[in-house]
Chains A and B, each alone.
Chain A
């Protein structure tokens, strides 16, 4: 299998048969090798580390926000701006960052920066590239039986573009962060912090990251079209590939619009050209339309890959053909299509009544393909031989949380209820259930499912399950309470609140720290696995997709020979004998299976 495993007996293989993680020399050679690699696997791993590092940074910002909200902050002291009495005592961020009776708003400013940085980092640098750039890069060619993505050097370029964008983001943080909110709504974003470049850095970061997203998406679309293994038709592809494909299409078609929007925003801020400034004849609502025309489709860039991960995991870990393969595949494309015509539901307050009604009606369309997927997953579980492994547990957590997230979207799409709920904690809870309960949970599921393939090591199942428990409890405690905060009228983005909300806010904060602990625990499990974990087998779960036919970890050129498709991705019924255990991989001869069945 690998040289370390002495799987090859002839000893004649060239360096392409070495596992991709094998070192080729000293430290400097290794660093250079990784920094100039065009190998989709190495790039996927580098993305994974970058994304997890930024996830940590965004998470710290979130915990700052939650810590601040532990206290309602009632003490009134100082005069504040324009002589309006301002609260500052007892405000955590205020105490840390030097609020005083003369300067009581310092704490509020830092609170605004903390939630902006949380949002901007998590959206632009973590969730959008999250699954496609890390797991997608690593797995897509393997699942298609290809040696690499269509344009390996473009892939490397895209990684450096991502890195450049992230560096601008980090620069904005080092200059104390921005307080615009992650949506950069004008006119606030063009006037706040006047005389400082940090807002421009942050907008530039989002602009550059968009290019990385476009290039990755373009690469993936062409890869799926051109590099499928011989015998692999469109409906023989794993559903993860379908999901990545639909995602890539949205990335390619929606991201250029945010590109021009952010470019105009930078023009606006630097030269004051006035396109979004009402004083000069411009229109801030135009900015909102531009922004959401991208940023709504991108919501599905965030969730579709997660759905793909879950489709694969549920089928493999209940060892059953996925129910409604085509329905799930087309639902992915359906979601990608609907994605482009619902952006207005982010702007009900700033549109005409007719516009709102139309967008409200269109928004309900999203529920159809989404529900198709959920029902198909549940049907797949029915009478399956379910193994409650960590990836499967996370897939079930995904189903549970995503269903809540999806259903709470309906009152937000309904105009009459949205009137009360918009801009409240209900919205915050809703999109965290979808983005976190959906995408991040799916990332965790996928990370555990493919961990043996990524690094060639097993992780400790019992330990990882403790992590699942912590994350599940922590997440629900953090965000379920926020539904109640929202329905009781707590608006988003405020550093202080009336006493009546104290209890719910405190539960939420406690939950967020349990969640943080859960992630820390997972980090330890992963480090433990990399350090002393057992060597993983080629196919520990008994899955049928092509990536499991490669070594663990895969060799530099993925496969020793060009793989030819012998069965569909989920043909468990015809290829796997009853009571077969994944430990007995490889699978027996299909003829014997058929004979046994009769």
Chain B
């Protein structure tokens, strides 16, 4: 991702002036004709990458659909074990974070450095809160009760023989999504670190924009996972 961004100072003996904000000193890659072309290219690249992410999750959604039709009872039962309130809370958290991520891009464009940092901090905090709720209030209690995937399943009061399959799909989908939340928070943390040095401003904010796009995708996937896993009985 830092590669797509290419936002470290140009390598060819380019001196950094400590008195000017970093973003004003940014030099675009030598193989681009100008900075706009580079920005366009980076954004195109990011959108393509997001397409691959969608396709990755498409596989999981296919598996979900297939097994839902194969074992409707187990899946209806399974979703009863999930507390929709935790899911809803996490949805709200992610929606708020998506808003702050979008605002961070806006702040960079308007050179509002303090607000940019604040919005990045809120976004990252929301991401971590999401993970914490997921682990502490959902994964841990379920795992300790034996509601585990496949052969690891040991919950004694299951209603349907195929419930382990429900948990396999649940854990695979949400764990891979959680991994994406962590990656997204990592990207934004990198942005935050760079923004302390005023690396982003009206003339250069590629990395913030691309990280925010990634964050929106992570949010969007949860928007689909939440009703499919928690709300359909």
Contacts and interface: CB of A to CB of B under 8 A. Distances in A.
A272 B6 contact: no
A225 B48 CA distance: 12
Nearest to A154: B3
Interface in B21-44: 29-32, 37, 40-42, 44
Given A218-B52, A222-B48, A253-B51, A152 B150 contact: no
A281 interface: yes
Interface string B160-192: 011011001101100010000000000000000
B131 interface: no
30 contacts: A147-B30, A151-B45, A153-B2, A154-B3, A154-B4, A154-B45, A156-B3, A219-B45, A221-B48, A222-B44, A227-B41, A252-B48, A252-B52, A253-B55, A254-B55, A256-B59, A257-B55, A260-B176, A271-B150, A271-B151, A271-B152, A273-B152, A275-B172, A280-B164, A281-B162, A281-B165, A282-B165, A283-B70, A286-B66, A290-B62
Given A147-B31, A273-B149, A280-B164, A257 B45 contact: no
A45 to B, nearest CB: 18
Contacts of A259: 56, 59
Contacts of B56: 256-257, 259-260
Interface stretch (A119-127, A261-269, A359-367, A502-510): A261-269
A153 B45 contact: no
B4 A151 contact: yes
Given A154-B4, A281-B162, A272 B150 contact: yes
B152 A146 contact: no
A255 interface: yes
A273 B3 contact: no
B53 to A, nearest CB: 7
B67 to A, nearest CB: 8
A148 B31 contact: yes
A226 interface: yes
A547 interface: no
A156 B2 CA distance: 12
A151 B32 CA distance: 10
A507 to B, nearest CB: 43
A196 to B, nearest CB: 18
B60 interface: yes
B53 A275 contact: no
A277 interface: yes
Interface in A279-298: 280-283, 286, 290
Closest 3 CB pairs of A and B: A274-B150, A260-B59, A272-B151
A517 B37 CA distance: 49
B71 interface: yes
B133 interface: no
Contacts of A267: 149, 172
Given A153-B3, A256-B58, A281-B74, 14 more contacts: A151-B3, A151-B42, A151-B45, A221-B48, A222-B48, A252-B52, A253-B51, A256-B52, A264-B59, A280-B150, A280-B164, A280-B168, A290-B59, A557-B30
A226 B31 CA distance: 11
Given A218-B48, A283-B70, A274 B55 contact: no
Interface string B63-85: 10011001100100000000000
A157 interface: yes
Given A152-B29, A226-B41, A260-B56, A272 B66 contact: no
Interface string B136-170: 00000000000001111000000001101100110
Contact of A286 (B42, B63, B168): B63
A274 B168 contact: yes
A272 B55 CA distance: 24
B77 to A, nearest CB: 13
Contact of B71 (A141, A263, A281, A290): A281
A421 interface: no
Contacts of B150: 268, 271-275, 277, 280, 282
A150 interface: yes
A150 B59 contact: no
B25 to A, nearest CB: 19
B49 interface: yes
A142 interface: no
A163 to B, nearest CB: 16
Contacts of B71: 281
A297 B164 CA distance: 33
Interface in A221-248: 221-222, 225-227
Nearest to A157: B3
B4 A255 contact: no
Contacts of A281: 67, 70-71, 74, 161-162, 164-165
Nearest to A251: B52
A92 interface: no
B5 to A, nearest CB: 9
A152 to B, nearest CB: 7
